Chains A and B, each alone.
Chain A
Amino acid sequence: MAIRIQSGKNNILTNSSNSTVQSVPFKIDADCDAPVRKYFQPFVQKTENNVLTASFRGYPLKGTKIQLPEGYQGMVLHESLKPDFEKLQDRHFFVVNKFEELTFWNWDKIPSKNDVFLKALDWIDIAEALHRPGTEQ
């Protein structure tokens, strides 16, 4: 079973417009478009200490913008066919857009180094150090 990621015809990676990506602290039983621009974006505020605030269904959210590590590119993928895990078929993803930053949201807690999501990014530097081809012998 292979996973194929195809970049669209209009080579999105050279596109200048990025997707606005929000990482939210809850699970929603849905897979659909959501009117983020109408119901979420207008209410995003910045406090004096640069913390972002917003709400989802009345719950207070606190967030921060995260730049992706250098050399990395965020991609928004789309899979048009629902995968059938029993048949072990190849899966096809299409790149629909890219992003360079995302907003990480917590429920009523200022994002910090205690958040696993933010901590996980440490691995990128460590992996780099571990897997860099040795130069000294």
Chain B
Amino acid sequence: MTENKIEEVETRREIHDLSSLESFLLHNDNFKNVSYISDVPEVCKEYPCILGIDEAGRGPVLGPMVYGTAFIPINEQTLLTTLQCADSKALNEEKRDDIFENICKHSKKMGWAVEVIAPNSICNSMLSRSKYSLNQVSMDSAIGLIKMALANSVKVEHVYVDTVGKPEKYQEYLKSLFPQLHITVAKKADSTYPVVSAASICAKVTRDHALKVWQFHEGIKVKEFGSGYPGDPVTKKFLTDHCDPVFGFPQLVRFSWSTASNALEGNAYHVEWEKVEDEKSGSTQKIPITSFFDKINKTSLEPEKKRHHFFTDRCLSRNVKF
């Protein structure tokens, strides 16, 4: 987790509607993770709260994965239904944008936070030496959001999380980290608990707008890149049109997705990385027994002069040719 620390924003840029969300996203380098927490209303510090957590953009080959949370005092939770917080996938983009702005407007009653995990940061984790899986990235982000809410004095009572992997195992893991909190981890929590729906909407809206204002630091001109789902023909076209033979794709793309690596195989030069040391493959060279009966070659009798390990350690050899 040390590598992907949530970065603090130096100058606080308030988000209170869609346009300030966009300027916040534009202001931060899109190849680094960034997180944001709204102002915490007094009622959330005073009265026990429920806190929901959900993610957006786990599957697509493009763009950030966003983790979102929303929190509200237990005795105010009917507000969520009034705001029509329901499964974010069942709502269209316009509706989600509206609900997000309404959540912002009710800043005296509820609060929210997001962590934007850059596509580059996802690849870096998945392609690190000690494989840091997407599930672990997800859990760590959720944990980070709970910690951020607690650090900002939200009186968290009950946490509801949409699961990654097996809910029982995940719930146990969270309980061990936050023994003082009630924790519910469930499948499809975003359609069951309005507070998770609210979190899901914050995450989804943030991801959509992050893509909308995406700046290509590579300086390439891109008309459209589609949804990022492998079946989307626009995404497919984007991946073939914007593939540099050496560097591959711009950093919007998650190289660690098979869609991306398959597209690279045909359109870019082959790259070979150092193999991660595998203990099993310590092959002991077998010399066939018949080799002892071979005619002895005279030159092989002269022992080859071995170089001192100072040189072999450093891969130094004599070379007179280029």
Contacts and interface: CB of A to CB of B under 8 A. Distances in A.
Interface stretch (B151-159, B263-271, B284-292): B263-271
A59 B314 contact: no
A91 interface: yes
A60 B271 contact: no
A71 interface: no
B63 to A, nearest CB: 14
A41 to B, nearest CB: 10
Contacts of A123: 311, 314, 316
B26 to A, nearest CB: 16
B246 interface: yes
Interface size class of B (residues with CB under 8 A): 35 or more
A81 interface: no
Interface string B111-150: 0000000001001101111000000000000000000000
A131 interface: no
A122 to B, nearest CB: 7
Contact of B313 (A58, A108, A119): A119
Contact of B314 (A32, A56, A119): A119
B251 A120 contact: no
B31 interface: yes
Contacts of B219: 38
Given A59-B123, A116-B315, A43 B251 contact: yes
Interface string A32-76: 101100111011010000000001111110000000000000000
Contacts of A109: 129
A126 B245 CA distance: 41
Given A55-B120, A119-B314, A39 B255 contact: no
A25 B247 contact: no
Given A43-B217, A58-B127, A109-B129, A28 B31 contact: no
Interface of B: 31-32, 120, 123-124, 126-129, 217-220, 244-248, 250-251, 254-256, 260, 264, 269-274, 310-311, 313-316, 321-322
Given A35-B218, A58-B124, A116-B315, 20 more contacts: A26-B272, A28-B246, A30-B269, A32-B245, A34-B244, A39-B250, A43-B251, A57-B247, A57-B271, A58-B120, A58-B256, A58-B260, A59-B124, A91-B322, A108-B124, A116-B313, A119-B314, A120-B316, A122-B314, A123-B316
Lowest 7 CB-CB distances: which A-B pairs, in order? A58-B255, A58-B123, A39-B247, A60-B124, A30-B269, A34-B246, A120-B314
